Structure 1
């Protein structure tokens, strides 16, 4: 499914939205990043499945999601360092994280270790890059 700029803005303007799943989505380019300044106030669950998340990363959406409790990322392209974008409030709220077949870097793991209430972590099929293991 193709999701354009206006549609993406409208989705994230839904203030009472609690769960949002993007599956096999293609985000069209965003021409004006300044138009994208709102957030769903109470989004608790966010998932990306088989989706190129470059546009999401550029919009800095994750840093605005202060109530996120569950986050899933599966088979997504270009996800290196994506977790570093999560709101610092995730440290005290996020309790379920599933990262399936993702590429992770050391910074991602450093973020995960800060989640104080994380109860369920799934790293099935993940590849760890730039760790400097011998």
Structure 2
């Protein structure tokens, strides 16, 4: 009986380990969609890079590659959207000063484009980050 329980436990552990390794080897749907969008994007398509990074950040998947996409997006064009996504990324890693800097940059770019742009949501994010400091 004891041998049967041990054998069953080992079999269960083996099945679990195999399922974990299969899941790790195959990317999730969000990563697949993001990679597909990036692969189809034009070389100067900063928005698709930032949007794909944002999708991954929100789901908490493929973070390293998504951060590279975001950095490339910001190299192509300094955009309010990409800076806000960067701020959200930094907030998730508790890098509050970097998050504030990114949110402020986002606000500046919005105001340059439209002085009357609504920046209340960004200000709320800045306030939240300041409270965490």
TM-score normalised by the chain length of structure 1: 0.39
TM-score normalised by the chain length of structure 2: 0.40
Q: Which has the higher contact order (CA 8 A, sep 6+)?
A: 1
Larger radius of gyration: 2
> Greater share of helix residues, 1 or 2?
2
> Greater share of strand residues, 1 or 2?
1
